[in-house]
A and B are shown apart, each in its own frame.
Chain A
Amino acid sequence: MRTDLFQSSPKIFLSLIGVALVSACVSPRGTGDLGIIVERASGSVQVVETTHHTRLAQVPGLGDLSHASAVYSRDARYAYVFGRDGGLTKVDLLRGRIDKRVVQAGNAIGGAISQDGRLIAVSNYEPGGVKVFASDTLDLLADIPAGSGDSQRRSKVVGLVDAPGDRFVFSLWDAGEIWVADMRDPRQPQVRKFSNVGKQPYDGTVTPDGRYYIAGLFGEDGLALLDLWNLDAGVRRVLEGYGRGQEPLPVFKMPHMDYWAQANDIAYVPAVGRHEVLVIDQKNWKEAGRVAVAGQPVFVIARPDGRQLWVNFAPPDNDTVQIIDTLSLKIIKTLKPGKAVLHMEFTPRGEQVWMSVRDEDRVDVYDTDTFERAASLPADKPSGIFFTSRAHRIGQ
């Protein structure tokens, strides 16, 4: 008895200390104001908090993060980071560490999370196709090679998004196709393919209601539009020939269609090879205007209320950000935040925007009302910024 007591009390004592320590360090907190910043050169991400502009953790070991992007679990606790080297890393924001990591391909470009949150899809350049994983374990569930027709040649896959009905939609760069994969049985995807959608789709996005999938075309002037409520209608071309036959200007960085920028049934997309933002009336999918801007637009993103567009640019104009008022379609502000502005992300309701200024190793936070800089955080060659508000948006 005495021996038992003597042995067990230190254990009890230690467990009590343990409980006390845990409660002191990990007080419960939500994740709604959290996010990550990709540090592309060092292969790390910062976990940040947007309410007080603080860095909570730095998580290393994510591999080659050039062109990395991320999606969030529906509980907004885990970020799934897609790296260039085929790495898929699940980062626990609350613990500030890697939860799981797999290297699933030789060369990857992005990914998506399914409507029910159970599946993670990754679009790959090499070998070209899409792989689908269980979001909890990162076990491989399905492999969809992007071979076109009878050709053995596999296509690079771009513009992968989720859509209602547990579907993933993506585009084939080389083959010029759009595929819709129904994932209701995750191990047996049902794929519907649309060919001849246009030359070199370079990225794709879905409208916030999940109805329309749009692929931007690099090889010709125009966009490919697919109504996901009516697949039988097929893909149609919109804004054909927006370049009006003029020789396109060189594009020193590919534009992105990260998220469908829209307000009042009007959508805004970067032109390719023209220093313009294209304005599309979603009621008839016709051009409703264009705005001349400082360079080749890379991201055209709408503030969550739709009142402003923030635009950044390819080199040599990547030190500039322009803000367009969507009521007047006028540029109301031109900012020079610093060298190499790569990405911008609004806080959930848009009172501030965070932007990575890569060559100055900073992330700056701007007030979207006054355009004043509200804060600045150090970061090592920052690129993508992704906040957890994406967890609950279709197509993100």
Chain B
Amino acid sequence: MRRPRHKTGITLAALGTLWTSAVCADIPAARQTELMHLLTQDCGSCHGLTRKGGLGPALTQEALAGKPAVMLREVILHGRPGTPMPPWKSFLNEQEADWLVQVLLEGKTDAH
């Protein structure tokens, strides 16, 4: 019982690492700067410039701890019906949303 679970954990961790490096590698620096600007300024309208929240919830590292990255990506791309969170898919592709999720989860405040 324990072993398979353990294995799954390792696999997920390994996938996570792969995913992280893949995400970083493919987005040009200039686009990363634009995405950071979008995050700070436009997401910041509702979530605060310092990500401590506003009409929308806080997006600090602590606030997002334990939230699955895939779920966060889906929220960014497709919004949350019934709330003011709109779908940002016309501004971002999946890979760019993944990159933003990583920035948020790591609590990074600059692009590089």
A396–B112 CA distance with the chains assembled, in angstroms: 42
Please count how many residues in chain B sit with their CB below 8 Å of the partner chain's CB atoms. 22
B41 in the interface (beta carbon within 8 A): yes
Q: Say whether B90 contacts A85, CB under 8 Å.
A: no
B46 to chain A, nearest CB (A): 7
User: B46-90 toward A: CB 8 Å interface, digit per residue (1/0)?
Assistant: 101110111100000000000000000000000100101011101
A254 in the interface (beta carbon within 8 A): yes
A218–B82 CA distance with the chains assembled, in angstroms: 10
Name A219's closest neighbour in chain B (CB-CB): B82
Name A248's closest neighbour in chain B (CB-CB): B86
Q: Say whether B41 contacts A358, CB under 8 Å.
A: yes
Please count how many residues in chain A sit with their CB below 8 Å of the partner chain's CB atoms. 30
A316–B34 CA distance with the chains assembled, in angstroms: 14
Q: Say whether A84 contacts B45, CB under 8 Å.
A: no
A161–B90 CA distance with the chains assembled, in angstroms: 36
Contact partner, B50, options A85, A316, A381, Cβ 8 Å: A85
Q: Which residues of A contact B87 (CB under 8 A)?
A: 250
Q: Which residues of A contact B54 (CB under 8 A)?
A: 66-67, 84, 107, 109, 125
Q: Say whether A84 contacts B48, CB under 8 Å.
A: yes
Contact partner, A156, options B44, B55, B86, B90, Cβ 8 Å: B55
Contact partner, B49, options A84, A107, A126, A315, Cβ 8 Å: A84
Q: Say whether B53 contacts A315, CB under 8 Å.
A: no
B42 in the interface (beta carbon within 8 A): yes
A84–B54 CA distance with the chains assembled, in angstroms: 8
A173 in the interface (beta carbon within 8 A): yes
Contact partner, A251, options B37, B40, B48, B84, Cβ 8 Å: B84
Name the prevailing secondary structure of the A interface residues. Answer: loop
With A85-B52, A107-B52, A126-B53 in contact, do A67 and B41 touch (Cβ < 8 Å)? Answer: no
A207 to chain B, nearest CB (A): 25
B48 to chain A, nearest CB (A): 6
Q: Say whether B50 contacts A125, CB under 8 Å.
A: no
Q: Say whether B45 contacts A67, CB under 8 Å.
A: yes
A220 to chain B, nearest CB (A): 11
A225 in the interface (beta carbon within 8 A): no
Select the residue from A65, A106, A107, A316 with max chain B CB neighbours within 10 A. A107
User: A196-221 toward B: CB 8 Å interface, digit per residue (1/0)?
Assistant: 00001010000000000000001100
Q: Which residues of A contact B90 (CB under 8 A)?
A: 250, 316
A67–B42 CA distance with the chains assembled, in angstroms: 11
Q: Which residues of A contact B91 (CB under 8 A)?
A: 315-316
Q: Say whether B42 contacts A66, CB under 8 Å.
A: no
Contact partner, A250, options B41, B45, B48, B79, Cβ 8 Å: B79
A192 in the interface (beta carbon within 8 A): no
A333 in the interface (beta carbon within 8 A): no
Q: Which residues of B contact A359 (CB under 8 A)?
A: 37, 41
Q: Which residues of A contact B48 (CB under 8 A)?
A: 64, 66, 84-85, 107
* CB interface residues, A 212-267, toward B, < 8 Å: 218-219, 250-254
A335 in the interface (beta carbon within 8 A): no
